[in-house]
């Protein structure tokens, strides 16, 4: 079960964290993974780890907010493989701030990456999937698309848009054998979280990390490999009857 043998998958933001975990797991399950990241060194590191484990992967550098750069990246992917079966839109950025504390520049920056980035990559993948007779698009939304979270105005806006795009893509293309779902994680403990906390809460790291863990009723943050396992299910043939859905992975947030 959950084999991806013979499939080609594009994973954005795969240089670290959740994206790296998804790319690594997909490769372990047999997929040829196209590792896309804005930082070339990060993408290369993920590819090196996958290859050391016996998997197939290639690295591509791309800022998903730039439509031209996305087009070039997918053209480069075409030169590497003649198929595209799976797209995981994982690349994204965070922002902390209420409405009053969010500048127009902040809003535009988050929108460009988290919303337009999904649009650019999904549109590029869609053309190729339609030509091949189908495929799977998985978007990374957030628990903030389903419930209110304090001081996440711009981020929540962007992830709500991702949820809406997911349902729209699923509805428009299910007759063409294209499935589209999204994952809505609560707080996931990744290197990005550690760096963010160190940068903004110097001297209070352990206190803030404990607060982030306590937000989930289970009393901890999620792990990147747990999100990757859910992504694997949704992109596998075992989920062939699943489309247009938002899957929380939240440590009990929605039932508390």
pLDDT digits (tens, 9 = 90+) for 194-242: 998 998 899 999 999 999 999 999 999 999 999 999 999 999 999 999 9
Which of the 8 DSSP states describes residue 244? S
3-class DSSP assignment, residue 88: strand
Give the pairing type, strands 86-89 and 222-223.
Answer: unpaired
Has 155 been annotated as catalytic?
yes
For the segment 142-170, the average pLDDT, to the nearest whole number, is 97
| Rg of the Cα atoms in the chain | 17
Does position 154 have pLDDT exceeding 90, yes or no? yes
| CB distance 106 to 154 below 8 Å | yes
For the chain, give the number of residues: 256
| CB distance 19 to 13 below 8 Å | yes
pLDDT of residue 205: 94
CA distances from 160 to 79, 122, 141, 164, 222 (A): 34, 16, 7, 6, 21
Does position 256 have pLDDT exceeding 90, yes or no? no
Q: For the chain, give the mean pLDDT.
A: 97
pLDDT of residue 243: 98
The model carries a pTM of 0.96
Does position 57 have pLDDT exceeding 90, yes or no? yes
What is the rounded distance in angstroms from the CA atom of residue 52 to the CA atom of residue 98? 44
For the segment 146-168, the average pLDDT, to the nearest whole number, is 97
Write down the residue that tokens 């609560």 correspond to: 186
pLDDT digits (tens, 9 = 90+) for 174-199: 999 999 999 999 999 999 899 989 98
Residue of 111, 119, 155, 201 marked catalytic: 155
Give the pairing type, strands 246-249 and 86-89.
Answer: unpaired
Tokens of 2: 């959950």
What is the rounded distance in angstroms from the CA atom of residue 111 to the CA atom of residue 105? 10
160: enclosing H helix or E strand? helix 153-173
What is the rounded distance in angstroms from the CA atom of residue 60 to the CA atom of residue 158? 24
pLDDT digits (tens, 9 = 90+) for 64-100: 999 999 999 999 999 999 999 999 999 999 999 999 9
Give the pairing type, strands 56-61 and 32-37.
Answer: parallel
pLDDT digits (tens, 9 = 90+) for 93-147: 999 999 999 999 999 999 999 999 999 999 999 999 999 999 999 999 999 999 9
What domains can you pick out in the chain, each with its CATH number? 8-187+224-250 (3.40.50.720)
CA distances from 222 to 17, 188, 219, 251, 254 (A): 12, 4, 10, 7, 14
pLDDT of residue 196: 86
């Amino acid at each position: 079960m959950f084999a991806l043998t013979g499939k080609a998958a594009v994973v954005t933001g795969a240089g670290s964290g959740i994206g790296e975990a998804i790319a690594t797991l997909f490769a372990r399950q047999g997929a040829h993974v196209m590792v896309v990241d804005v930082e070339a060194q990060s993408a290369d590191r993920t590819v090196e780890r996958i290859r050391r484990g016996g998997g197939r992967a290639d690295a591509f550098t791309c800022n998903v907010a730039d439509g031209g750069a996305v087009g070039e990246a997918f053209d480069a992917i075409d030169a590497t493989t003649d198929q595209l079966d799976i797209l995981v839109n994982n690349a994204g950025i965070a922002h902390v701030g209420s409405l009053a504390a969010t500048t127009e520049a902040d809003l535009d920056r988050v929108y460009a990456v988290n919303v337009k980035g999904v649009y650019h990559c999904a549109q590029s993948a869609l053309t190729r999937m339609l030509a091949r007779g189908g495929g799977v698009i998985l978007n990374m939304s957030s628990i903030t698309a389903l419930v209110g979270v304090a001081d996440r105005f711009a981020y929540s806006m962007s992830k709500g848009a991702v949820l809406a795009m997911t349902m729209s893509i699923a509805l428009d293309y299910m007759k063409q054998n294209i499935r589209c779902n999204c994952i809505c994680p609560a707080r996931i403990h990744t290197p990005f979280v550690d760096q963010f906390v160190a940068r903004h809460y110097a001297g209070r790291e352990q206190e803030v990390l404990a607060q982030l863990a306590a937000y989930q009723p289970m009393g901890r943050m999620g792990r990147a490999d747990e999100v990757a396992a859910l992504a694997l299910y949704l992109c596998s043939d075992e989920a062939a009857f699943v489309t247009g859905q938002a899957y929380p992975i939240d440590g009990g947030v929605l039932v508390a």
